[in-house]
Structure 1
Amino acid sequence: MTPPEPFRLTASEAQAKFKDGSLTVETYAQSLLSRIKARDSVTNAWAYLSPDLVLSRARELDQIPPEKRGPLHGVAIGVKDVILTKDMPTQHNSPIYEDDAPKIDAASIMTLRANGALIFGKTTTTEFAATSVGPSHKGPKTANPHDPTRTAGGSSAGSGSAVGDLQVPIGLGTQTVGSTIRPGSFNGIYAMKPTWNAISREGQKLYSLIFDTLGLYSRSVADLKLLLDTFQLVDDEPVPSEPFTIKGAKFALLTLPTPEWPEPGPGTASAVTKAAELLRAHGATVEEITLPDEFRQMYKYHLQVLSGDGRVAFLPEYTIAKDLMHESLVGHVENVANHTRRDQLKAFDELAAMRPKLDALASKYAAIIGPSAIDEAPVGSNTGSAAFCGPWTAMHMPVVNVPGFKGENGLPIGVSVVAGRYRDQYLLRVCEEVGKVFEGEGGWKREM
């Protein structure tokens, strides 16, 4: 049997080959670069990529003696272009920062490099990761690898598309409402928004201080765990060494996050229903729930906080180059929504009061299962609704998009699996087993 081309390997699979000497980082990088060369005209997932820089760093990693190699040795990672990288431009998809290249790494990049990662390039984003239209100020828009007429998702579209298209095994995104989870669903990959503030955000442009969270993309739960371990995310209660058992577990099925949310499309409705059926078939109890009315205004408060935070976040660029900014960002600074400071304080306080209540609800179940996106990726450049992702961002809870389902057009649809705050490692343990079921029996198979 012919072994798979290196670009098809997950990060964990590539690492095993680095360790046994059957694959070098340089050969691996060359395979990924060849994949990108063949596919980038379709996906347009990269804002900056230097093959010479990638191969130079790969050769350096190959020269490190085995006993001195880090836990992420050779792992190729695409980085959303709002996260600072000392050897590559960070442009925020804004003409204000075109070709701007700060000589400093963000804290997350410092950590990844110190552990042996191969920072591959910068992936596309919407303007300042804060608009709903795909990358457009220069070059073509990022496309969904499974249907280039459709969006690859939210502001982290480039990382989602690159990982979904096998161009890199791991991507970094960010999430302020749904910019990690939604692309995960659209591109048919695992996507994780960890507990808020569990990973340093120093060195990335923040839209919202109390919502922005680093996002993680991969094609396996094992690769997500590599990242959590590298960032030293540790639960208060040690995760049992034995695998999580679906049989006998109790899940909550959240069909509508709050009474005011939109109805899911047919693909998502079918995916959520099938997810529940599969869990029950494997011996779990699944209890259908809807959040009570006290959570009705969660999304309203979420958007109010974003409006207030945006007034501060985008003031510097507004001051120097208002005419080069998207109108929605200008609107934040000028407070066109007319939110008062009292409005903002109420939103802060109401959301803070909800969080321990959602933790208490989550603690009653092995996990909460819910929709990741309204439906399949929509046609065009609009990145789609983030409504179903917003609750877990607002509540600071960890969430993983688990792929495996498909919509009416055969495109991937994922399902969100959620746990209480700072139970990230536990959540991955649950997703490891749930993912086997959803990927194996959900009906969607990767064809590329």
Structure 2
Amino acid sequence: MTIPSNFLTATETIALINDGKLTVTQLALDHFARYEARDAEVEAWAYINKDHILKEAKRLDDLPKEKRGPLHGMILGVKDMINTYDLPTQHNSPIYKGHQPGIDAAPVAVCRALGALIYGKTHTTEFASTGVGPPAHNAYDPARTPGGSSSGSGAAVGDYQCQIAFGTQTGGDTIRPGSFNNIFAMKPTWSAISREGLKIFSVTLDTLGLYSRSVSDLQLLAYAFRLIDDVPPPLTPKPLSECTFGYTKTHSWYISGGPSPELIRAYETSKEILLSAGAKIEEFEMPPEFNDLALLRNRYIMAGEGRAAFLPEYVANRWGLSDQLASHVENKQFVITRQMQLQAYDEIAALRPIVDGMLGKYDAVVTPSVPGEAPIGLGSTGDARFCSMWTALHVPCVQIPGFASENGMPIGLTLVGPRYHDQKLLSTSKAVAAVWNGYDNAKLVKLPGEPAEAVHAKP
């Protein structure tokens, strides 16, 4: 049986289109059929227009082969705080209802020029800057959050409604939805991809995030965005038997009630799998100077930079802005002095070369993505405590799916590496995903309409 093309990865469908075995129009129709079947339950999209999608698909189909880019036909969802010239960008805010920026953000412009089909805008929390969930639901259980702030992007890729999606990360806004929706997620090295055209909350922290259902797709995007290491890794991933992995729980393991049973199981099982593949494992604790990093990041940098980030909306329409974001401008929630902000900048900057040296001792360091399975309810997007330190340190992170809770809900783990070692981290992730991914697929809740031939996520 031939499964609908929306269940294939971007890499697979690009190859089929190049071989003349699939059209972009058919690919778009298969994705739209999935959207129509599942939108009432998942609600991943803030804006989608079938006529526009099909018009763009035909434009791509009509391009002669010699003018087609390496992303030709890839289906891309864009978080609705990233500008698109032909689709509204509304930020989940009444202030920007119907707003049409008329210009692509830099990451969108790159992908459009290389042949991607910009499919629609995905739900975000307000300005991607609060923990209050938008309408989107978890792909595996509509009673649960898909995570956030990149809520719709994680749900759409997890539910096979698009192949690739853009998120952003200020704390754990990309990695957390990746774990909750059982997909691959990457936070590249900070500022390795242009943020021009994104609504910025924290200029020091915000990073474009990438979602996919395979590491090959993430590598395709890394190529498109020129994420090239000074010493690129071999084309074939290094065998696990020649790899050494560091394992660190970080200070966050020991706070807020401790880890969940599913996190403990995933963490320990992942080590057993790597050891059985011949890899070496070294467990270590982060030095104590890293313990306060989340506090410094959250209270000092985010709150301090939020004073400037939301000032335009505040002075133009205070009552259209949530109290949480207005409190940043008013400096009321945490009362951050400029000296406190400078302290955070200087202390975290001093730790970045130290952590590069620590991470550089290993092929990758394994650490939790989330405290546990996606929480029930849409009021909160979940806990970002395991991600925020790595975001502040600017290092690349790749969330790898593969495990499940007793409730059949997904949980993944994160690989991290030194700054600007994105290619090496992806290569190592591919080798790790080949043994982790699918480990608990039998336990996972099966998505409605999912063919037996489709896997939840591919290495």
TM-score in same-fold range (> 0.5): yes
Q: 1:366 aligns with which of 363, 368, 390?
A: 363
SS state at 2:437 partner: helix
Residue 407 of structure 1 is matched in structure 2 by 405
Residue 106 of structure 2 is matched in structure 1 by 107
Alignment RMSD, CA only?
A: 1.2
Letter in 1 for 2:362: Y
Letter in 1 for 2:413: V
User: After superposition, what is the alpha-carbon deviation per residue over 1:355-392, rounded to whole angstroms, capped at 9, x for unaligned?
Assistant: 11111000111100010001000000110000001111
Residue 317 of structure 1 is matched in structure 2 by 313
Q: Which structure 1 residue ranges, 5 or more long, are not aligned?
A: 136-140
Cα deviation for residue 283 of structure 1 reads: 0.7
How far, CA to CA, are the matches of 2:55 and 2:97 in structure 1?
Answer: 25
Residues 299/235 of structure 1: CA separation in 2 closer, same or farther (3 Å cut): same
> Structure 2-normalised TM-score?
0.95
Letter in 1 for 2:410: P
Residue 138 of structure 1 is matched in structure 2 by none
Residue 191 of structure 1 is matched in structure 2 by 185
SS state at 2:220 partner: helix
How far, CA to CA, are the matches of 1:269 and 1:354 in structure 2?
Answer: 28
Residue 168 in structure 1 maps to residue 162 in structure 2: yes
How far, CA to CA, are the matches of 1:54 and 1:281 in structure 2?
Answer: 47
Letter in 1 for 2:331: N
Residue 271 in structure 1 maps to residue 270 in structure 2: no
SS state at 2:423 partner: helix
1:7–1:32 contact (8 Å) kept in structure 2:
yes
Letter in 2 for 1:74: G
Cα deviation for residue 258 of structure 1 reads: 5.3
1:260–1:296 contact (8 Å) kept in structure 2:
no
1:181–1:191 contact (8 Å) kept in structure 2:
yes
How far, CA to CA, are the matches of 1:223 and 1:85 in structure 2?
Answer: 22
Residue 247 of structure 1 is matched in structure 2 by 241
Q: 2:330 aligns with which of 326, 329, 334?
A: 334
Q: Which structure 2 residue ranges, 5 or more long, are not aligned?
A: 448-459
Alignment of 1:349-388 (within 5 A): 349-381=346-378, 382-388=380-386
Residue 283 of structure 2 is matched in structure 1 by 288
How far, CA to CA, are the matches of 2:139 and 2:178 in structure 1?
Answer: 12
Identity %: 49
How far, CA to CA, are the matches of 1:248 and 1:420 in structure 2?
Answer: 19
Alignment of 1:30-429 (within 5 A): 30-135=29-134, 141-257=135-251, 261-262=255-256, 263-303=258-298, 304-336=300-332, 337-381=334-378, 382-429=380-427
How far, CA to CA, are the matches of 1:82 and 1:7 in structure 2?
Answer: 25
1:90–1:100 contact (8 Å) kept in structure 2:
yes
Report how many aligned residue pairs link the two structures. Answer: 442
How far, CA to CA, are the matches of 1:123 and 1:258 in structure 2?
Answer: 30
SS state at 2:142 partner: strand
SS state at 2:385 partner: coil
Cα deviation for residue 243 of structure 1 reads: 2.0
2:252–2:385 contact (8 Å) kept in structure 1:
no
Cα deviation for residue 292 of structure 1 reads: 1.3
User: After superposition, what is the alpha-carbon deviation per residue over 1:293-349, rounded to whole angstroms, capped at 9, x for unaligned?
Assistant: 111110111011000010000011111111121111011111111111000000000
1:193–1:216 contact (8 Å) kept in structure 2:
yes
Cα deviation for residue 16 of structure 1 reads: 1.2
How far, CA to CA, are the matches of 2:12 and 2:253 in structure 1?
Answer: 43
How far, CA to CA, are the matches of 1:96 and 1:307 in structure 2?
Answer: 21
Residues 96/154 of structure 1: CA separation in 2 closer, same or farther (3 Å cut): same
How far, CA to CA, are the matches of 1:441 and 1:103 in structure 2?
Answer: 45
2:253–2:259 contact (8 Å) kept in structure 1:
no
SS state at 1:12 partner: helix
How far, CA to CA, are the matches of 2:251 and 2:359 in structure 1?
Answer: 13
Letter in 1 for 2:336: H
How far, CA to CA, are the matches of 1:158 and 1:203 in structure 2?
Answer: 19
User: After superposition, what is the alpha-carbon deviation per residue over 1:78-114, rounded to whole angstroms, capped at 9, x for unaligned?
Assistant: 0000000000100000000001111111111111111
SS state at 2:143 partner: strand
Cα deviation for residue 445 of structure 1 reads: 5.0
1:258–1:290 contact (8 Å) kept in structure 2:
no
1:75–1:118 contact (8 Å) kept in structure 2:
yes
SS state at 1:132 partner: coil
User: After superposition, what is the alpha-carbon deviation per residue over 1:253-293, rounded to whole angstroms, capped at 9, x for unaligned?
Assistant: 11234576442211111111111111111111111112111
2:409–2:444 contact (8 Å) kept in structure 1:
no
1:160–1:183 contact (8 Å) kept in structure 2:
yes
SS state at 2:197 partner: coil
Letter in 2 for 1:429: S
How far, CA to CA, are the matches of 1:249 and 1:160 in structure 2?
Answer: 30
2:408–2:444 contact (8 Å) kept in structure 1:
no
How far, CA to CA, are the matches of 1:88 and 1:18 in structure 2?
Answer: 25
How far, CA to CA, are the matches of 2:433 and 2:445 in structure 1?
Answer: 14
> Structure 1-normalised TM-score?
0.97
Residue 19 of structure 1 is matched in structure 2 by 18
Bigger mean CA deviation after superposition, 216-225 or 315-324: 315-324
How far, CA to CA, are the matches of 1:24 and 1:401 in structure 2?
Answer: 31
1:280–1:286 contact (8 Å) kept in structure 2:
yes
Residues 327/33 of structure 1: CA separation in 2 closer, same or farther (3 Å cut): same
User: After superposition, what is the alpha-carbon deviation per residue over 1:194-242, rounded to whole angstroms, capped at 9, x for unaligned?
Assistant: 0000000000100000100000000000000111110111101121123
Cα deviation for residue 408 of structure 1 reads: 2.2
